[in-house]
């Protein structure tokens, strides 16, 4: 790595001693290169990317900005109509008008607009055991990447167990709790939402599935179960679909979700 | 402690040439919250260390099975462990080739006494690996990214395992890879003395060495120190050659147990463990304190010019490295998502056939490796005697719904020749057990389980315990031999 004691460094010019010290650091970095690579290989975190003087190296700065752009795209782009048609989802939207308002007003993302509420009641089966909801949330990319693999095995698995599934819907500009409103309107026993998670700089494709038993508006988050980190580098979407089948069956049998369902989740509340 | 952790009771029993020990350990299994990460063994605490006992013998070549079983029973009672409450563990029987002959009835007997779910196993390779895990050599390799050899020098054998601490597939729990094992019929008990310094017995490997060196050694002799030092030095040479080869000299090859490697390895560190190995750092002042060649062999190793050049590290466990490894390190956990028949587990001695890498294979090319794996199982095993059979898949291809459906079709067809009541365990490296399980269940009524995030090899055997962590994982012991 090039040593940079450049003109724009703060404070006095480096002394001879400082130069010696920085040489020592460089030697150490080279001696530990293998160990550093091993550590860096185990995590997608930006470790050991080095620096050029006080600044990031050009390639790591560019990679960072590219990843940031991907994350912004995930928030800003919309799920394509083609996907909704392929998966046979009824298209709905919340009271949110655009992406800026979505970010500023989480409350509006929890409620359907009037036209969508009418459409919901007109197009969807009432009182299903399970209502499936797909929503863009903070990452349309996550929906596009994961739902086509997740939804078929989920629907097949539920059908195989004889669990009645309502008419699946897609909600644009949705927050997790929009499932409470949808579940309540339809009178579903259990509501599941597959929603794009806040993108990070490691992955913009992470999806979560939240699940609530006895949905009604204002249900506490603690009463919701979650299967998170669904993407190719985490829980593979097809496996997440099969896992959700088990979780839904467990929820319906226990008539409970969230901390009411699992002992191990309850420990959280106590600790 | 929260509800998220649970404990497994694990028993390790090591029946060596010279000594027999038992340890009982508690493995704490933790399931990270949030439902994403797999349960893991978070802590391995040794709850009981049994006394080191002389391995009881009926004659110089036959282990007294009844006496060993009685020792184990005494130790478990002293530990306050009900054999029925033992969840997992391993019985290791090692030693010279001749003594290994009654290993099979021995492990069978002990496993039956010490709990239904103790994996009975024998073999120098596995002992070498467990000793290296028990001594801390494996941890050192993983933590520092070094290549570390653990050399367990016991009464009858010297078992070396080489651990490579680097990232990549096939890593152990700590991130270390078992590079290879190298084992020799060299140990302190190859020559035994009576109370007067007279030779009481000489094992065949010691004959071989004495003949090669043209040393006059007979039972009843009172050999002088010089002769014994020469014999011990010859043994130390074999141990050094074992680690520094290839090439290996003819004597090393003759004394080797199993295969020797074809490529040399550059070592960052060497750890000595075992009854003789622990003396390398500090040989006893009275060389014949143990009535055998252990003291002289340890001294010969310490003074060997090549060993002096090695970077020798202190073990965490010396004498008990193997038994600690057997008690704490023989169990792994499957991935978090499993698909099983509720009452299928525990099952033991499940033979594994490897179908290999199926990525990119379609139609006939997909069915063929699965069918030949099933054919191997039918050919090699009497299916009527088995709890189950296992098919291992290194790579199923992309984790897509359609792909897994195609695989499920191929699997269903491939297992058709097996008896319909015989449970089949499908083991995948990728995280797809629940998805594949759901797809298989739709296609067949036979008893079935899918375990993921495991990679046994063809020819291995699996012992699989009852589900833990809220039915989300199973403890698995992979063995190289079944009894």
Partners of B404 on chain A (C-beta within 8 Å) are 238
Joined together, the tokens standing for residue B450 give: 């899918």
As a whole number, mean pLDDT of residues B81-95 equals 79
Joined together, the tokens standing for residue B1 give: 């402690």
Query: How many Cβ atoms sit within 10 Å of the Cβ of residue B414?
Result: 22
**pLDDT (tens digit, 9 = 90+) per residue, B113-164?**
766 556 666 567 778 888 888 888 888 888 877 889 999 998 888 999 998 8
Joined together, the tokens standing for residue B182 give: 């190298």
Query: CA B475, CA B173: separation in Å to the nearest integer?
Result: 14
Query: CA B47, CA B315: separation in Å to the nearest integer?
Result: 20
Partners of B36 on chain A (C-beta within 8 Å) are 228-229, 234-235
Residue B405, pLDDT > 90, answer yes
Which residue is listed with tokens 């197009």?
A123
Partners of B29 on chain A (C-beta within 8 Å) are none
Q: At what angle do helices B103-114 and B65-79 cross, to 10 degrees?
A: 30
| DSSP letters spanning A21-89 | HHHHHHHHHHHTHHHHHHHHHT-SS--S--EETTEE-HHHHHHHHHHHHHHHHHHHS---HHHHHHTT-
Q: Do A152 and B175 touch (CB under 8 A)?
A: no
Best mean pLDDT range from B5-9, B13-17, B362-366: B362-366
Report the pLDDT value the prediction gives residue B171, as an integer from 0 to 100: 39
> B346: cis peptide before it, omega within 30°?
yes
Interface test with A, best of B5, B34, B35 (most A CBs within 10 A): B35
Q: Do A264 and B442 touch (CB under 8 A)?
A: no
Partners of B31 on chain A (C-beta within 8 Å) are 264
B98 vs B21, residue with greater confidence: B21
Q: A50, A57 in Cβ contact below 8 A?
A: yes
Query: CA B204, CA B157: separation in Å to the nearest integer?
Result: 12
Q: At what angle do helices B124-135 and B321-328 cross, to 10 degrees?
A: 90
CA distance to partner chain B, nearest, from residue A228 (Å): 7
Q: Quick one: three-class SS letters along chain B?
A: CCCCEEEEEEEEEEECCCEEEEEEEEEEEECCCCCCCCCEEEEEEEEEECCCEECCEEECCEECHHHHHHHHHHHHHHHCCCHHHCCEEEEEECCCCCHHHHHHHHHHHHHHHHCCCCEEEECHHHHHHHHHHHHCHHHHHHHHCCEEEEEEECCCCEEEEEEEECCCCCCCCCCEEEEEEEEECCCHHHEEECCCCCEEEECHHHHHHHHHHCCCCCCCCCCCHHHHHHHHHHHHHHHHHHHHCCCCCHHHHHHEECCCCCCCCCCCEEEEEHHHHCCCCCCCCCCCCCCECHHHHHHHHHHCHHHHHCCEECCCCCCCHHHHHHHHCCCEECCCCCEECCCCCCEEEEEEEEEEECCCCCHHHHHHHHHHHHHHHHHHCCHHHCCCEEEEEEECCCCCHHHHHHHHHHHHHHCCCCCCCCCEEEEECCCCHHHHHHHHHCCCCCCEEEEECCCCCCCCEEEECCCECCCCECEEEEECCCC
As a whole number, mean pLDDT of residues B55-76 equals 84
Report the pLDDT value the prediction gives residue A5, as an integer from 0 to 100: 38
Q: How far is CA A267 from the centre of its chain?
A: 24
Question: Residues 223-252, chain A: which have Cβ within 8 Å of B?
Answer: 226-229, 232, 234-239, 241-243, 245-246
As a whole number, mean pLDDT of residues B330-337 equals 72
Query: CA A139, CA A207: separation in Å to the nearest integer?
Result: 8
Q: How far is CA A161 from the centre of its chain?
A: 28
Percent of chain B, pLDDT > 70? 88
Q: What confidence category does residue B404 fall into, taking pLDDT thresholds of 50, 70 and 90?
A: very high
Report the pLDDT value the prediction gives residue B483, as an integer from 0 to 100: 43
Q: A6, A22 in Cβ contact below 8 A?
A: no
Query: CA B392, CA B427: separation in Å to the nearest integer?
Result: 5
CA torsion through residues B408, B411, B417, B421, sign: negative
In sequence order, what are the beta bridge partners of B7? B28
Query: CA B395, CA A248: separation in Å to the nearest integer?
Result: 29
Query: How many Cβ atoms sit within 10 Å of the Cβ of residue A147?
Result: 26
Residue B287, pLDDT > 70, answer no
Please state which of the ranges B50-59, B87-96, B114-123, B431-440 shows the lowest mean pLDDT. B114-123
Q: What confidence category does residue B101 fall into, taking pLDDT thresholds of 50, 70 and 90?
A: low
Please state which of the ranges B160-174, B176-190, B196-210, B418-432 shows the lowest mean pLDDT. B160-174
User: Is A144 assigned to a binding site?
Assistant: no
Joined together, the tokens standing for residue A68 give: 């940031």
Q: B84, B92 in Cβ contact below 8 A?
A: no
Q: Name every residue whose Cβ is closer than 8 Å to that of residue B480 and which is 6 or more positions away in sequence.
A: B121, B123, B125, B126, B459, B460, B461
Q: A158, A94 in Cβ contact below 8 A?
A: no
Domain A77-270 is of which CATH architecture?
A: 3-Layer(aba) Sandwich (3.40)
Report the pLDDT value the prediction gives residue A95, as an integer from 0 to 100: 97
Q: What confidence category does residue B5 fall into, taking pLDDT thresholds of 50, 70 and 90?
A: low
Q: What integer best gives the mean pLDDT of chain B?
A: 82
Q: A8, A1 in Cβ contact below 8 A?
A: no
CA terminus-to-terminus distance, chain A: 47
B5 — phi, psi (to 5°)? -110, 150
**DSSP label at residue A249:** H
Best mean pLDDT range from A26-30, A197-201, B42-46, B476-480: A197-201
Partners of A263 on chain B (C-beta within 8 Å) are 3, 470
Report the pLDDT value the prediction gives residue B455, as an integer from 0 to 100: 80
Which residue is listed with tokens 């043994």?
B235
A231 vs B106, residue with greater confidence: A231
Q: Name every residue whose Cβ is closer than 8 Å to that of residue B249 and which is 6 or more positions away in sequence.
A: B241
Q: Does A22 touch chain B (CB under 8 A)?
A: no
Entry field: residues in chain B? 483
B98 vs A158, residue with greater confidence: A158
Report the pLDDT value the prediction gives residue A271, as an integer from 0 to 100: 43
Residue B375, pLDDT > 80, answer yes
Query: CA B353, CA B419: separation in Å to the nearest integer?
Result: 16
Q: Does A183 touch chain B (CB under 8 A)?
A: no
Report the pLDDT value the prediction gives residue B121, as an integer from 0 to 100: 62
Report the pLDDT value the prediction gives residue B1, as an integer from 0 to 100: 35
C-alpha dist (Å) from residue A248 to A210, A256, B17, B37: 11, 10, 56, 20
CA distance to partner chain A, nearest, from residue B435 (Å): 5
Query: CA A122, CA A113: separation in Å to the nearest integer?
Result: 14
Q: Do A246 and B434 touch (CB under 8 A)?
A: yes
Percent of chain B, pLDDT > 90? 19
Q: At what angle do helices A33-41 and A16-31 cross, to 10 degrees?
A: 60
Q: Name every residue whose Cβ is closer than 8 Å to that of residue A72 and which is 6 or more positions away in sequence.
A: none
Pairing between strand B158-165 and B147-153?
A: antiparallel
B453 vs B176, residue with greater confidence: B453
Of A149, A228, A243, nearest to B401 by CB-CB distance is: A149
Report the pLDDT value the prediction gives residue A177, as an integer from 0 to 100: 96
Q: B297, B188 in Cβ contact below 8 A?
A: yes
Joined together, the tokens standing for residue B465 give: 């315990």
Q: What is the pLDDT along chain A (271 residues), one digit of tens a residue?
A: 333 333 343 444 433 343 444 444 444 445 567 777 777 777 778 888 888 888 888 888 998 899 999 988 888 889 999 999 999 999 999 999 999 999 999 999 999 999 999 999 999 999 999 999 999 999 999 999 999 999 999 999 999 999 999 999 999 999 999 999 999 999 999 999 999 999 887 788 999 999 999 999 999 999 999 999 999 888 999 999 999 999 999 999 999 999 888 765 555 444 4
* Domain residue ranges of chain A, discontinuous segments joined by +: 16-38+53-75, 77-270
Query: CA B133, CA B323: separation in Å to the nearest integer?
Result: 10
């Amino acid at each position: 790595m090039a040593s940079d004691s450049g003109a724009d460094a703060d404070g006095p010019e480096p002394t001879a001693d400082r130069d010696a010290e920085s040489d020592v650091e460089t030697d150490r970095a080279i001696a530990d290169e293998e160990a550093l690579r091993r550590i860096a290989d185990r995590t997608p975190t930006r470790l050991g990317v080095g620096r050029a003087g006080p600044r990031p190296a050009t390639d790591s700065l560019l990679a960072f900005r590219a990843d940031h752009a991907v994350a912004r795209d995930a928030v800003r782009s919309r799920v394509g109509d083609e996907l909704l048609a392929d998966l046979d989802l009824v298209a709905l939207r919340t009271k949110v008008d655009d992406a800026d308002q979505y970010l500023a007003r989480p409350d509006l993302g929890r409620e359907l607009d009037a036209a969508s509420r009418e459409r919901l009641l007109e197009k969807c089966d009432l009182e299903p055991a399970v209502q499936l909801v797909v929503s863009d949330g903070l990452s349309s990319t996550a929906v596009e990447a994961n739902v086509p693999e997740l939804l078929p095995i989920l629907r097949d698995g539920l059908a195989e167990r004889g669990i009645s599934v309502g008419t699946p819907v897609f909600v644009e500009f949705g927050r997790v709790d929009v499932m409470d409103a949808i579940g309540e309107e339809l009178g579903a026993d259990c509501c599941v939402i597959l929603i794009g998670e806040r993108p990070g700089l490691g992955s913009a494709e992470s999806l979560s599935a939240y699940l609530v038993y006895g949905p009604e508006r204002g249900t506490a988050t603690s009463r919701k179960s979650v299967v998170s980190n669904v993407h190719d580098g985490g829980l593979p979407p097809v496996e997440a679909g099969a896992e959700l089948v088990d979780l839904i069956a467990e929820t319906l049998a226990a008539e409970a979700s969230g901390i009411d369902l699992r002992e191990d989740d309850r420990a959280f509340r106590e600790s | 402690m929260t509800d998220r952790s649970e404990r497994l009771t694990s028993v390790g029993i090591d029946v060596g040439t010279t000594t027999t020990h038992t340890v009982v350990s508690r493995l704490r299994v933790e399931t990270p919250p949030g439902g994403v990460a797999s349960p893991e063994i978070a802590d391995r605490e040794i709850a009981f260390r049994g006394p080191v006992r002389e391995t009881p013998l009926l004659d110089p070549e036959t282990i007294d099975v009844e006496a060993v079983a009685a020792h184990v029973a005494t130790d478990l009672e002293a530990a306050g462990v009900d054999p029925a409450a033992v969840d997992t563990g391993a019985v290791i029987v090692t030693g010279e080739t001749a003594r290994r002959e009654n290993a099979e009835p021995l492990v069978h007997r002990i496993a039956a006494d010490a709990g239904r779910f103790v994996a009975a196993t024998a073999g120098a390779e596995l002992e070498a690996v467990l000793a290296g895990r028990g001594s801390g050599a494996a941890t050192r390799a993983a933590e520092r990214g070094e290549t570390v050899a653990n050399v367990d020098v016991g009464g009858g054998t010297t078992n070396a395992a080489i651990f490579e601490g680097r990232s990549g597939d096939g890593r152990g729990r700590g991130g270390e890879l078992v590079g290879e094992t190298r084992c020799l019929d060299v140990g302190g008990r190859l020559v035994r003395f009576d109370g007067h310094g007279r030779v009481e017995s000489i094992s065949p490997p010691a004959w071989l060495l004495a003949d090669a060196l043209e040393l006059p050694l007979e039972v009843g002799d009172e050999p002088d120190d010089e002769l014994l030092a020469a014999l011990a030095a010859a043994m130390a040479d074999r141990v050094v050659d074992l680690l520094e080869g290839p090439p290996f000299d003819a004597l090393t090859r003759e004394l080797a147990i199993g295969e020797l490697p074809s490529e040399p390895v550059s070592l960052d560190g060497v750890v000595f463990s075992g009854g003789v190995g622990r003396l390398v750092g500090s040989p006893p002042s009275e060389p014949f304190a143990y009535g055998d060649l252990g003291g002289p062999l340890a001294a010969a190793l310490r003074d060997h010019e090549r060993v002096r050049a090695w970077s020798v590290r202190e073990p965490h466990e010396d004498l008990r490295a193997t038994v600690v490894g057997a008690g704490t390190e023989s169990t792994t956990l499957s991935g978090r998502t499993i698909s099983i028949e509720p009452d299928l587990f525990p099952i033991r001695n499940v033979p594994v056939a490897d179908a290999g890498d199926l990525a990119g294979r379609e139609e006939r090319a997909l069915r063929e490796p699965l069918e030949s794996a099933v054919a191997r199982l039918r050919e090699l095993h009497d299916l009527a005697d088995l709890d189950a059979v296992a098919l291992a898949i290194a790579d199923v291809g992309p984790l897509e719904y359609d792909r897994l459906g195609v695989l499920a079709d191929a699997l269903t067809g491939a297992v058709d020749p097996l008896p319909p009541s015989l449970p089949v365990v499908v083991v995948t490296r990728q995280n797809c057990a629940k998805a594949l399980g759901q797809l298989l269940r739709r296609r067949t009524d036979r008893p079935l389980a899918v375990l993921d995030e495991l990679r046994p090899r063809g020819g291995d055997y699996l012992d699989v315990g009852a589900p833990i962590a809220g039915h989300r994982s199973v403890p698995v012991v992979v063995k190289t031999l079944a009894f």
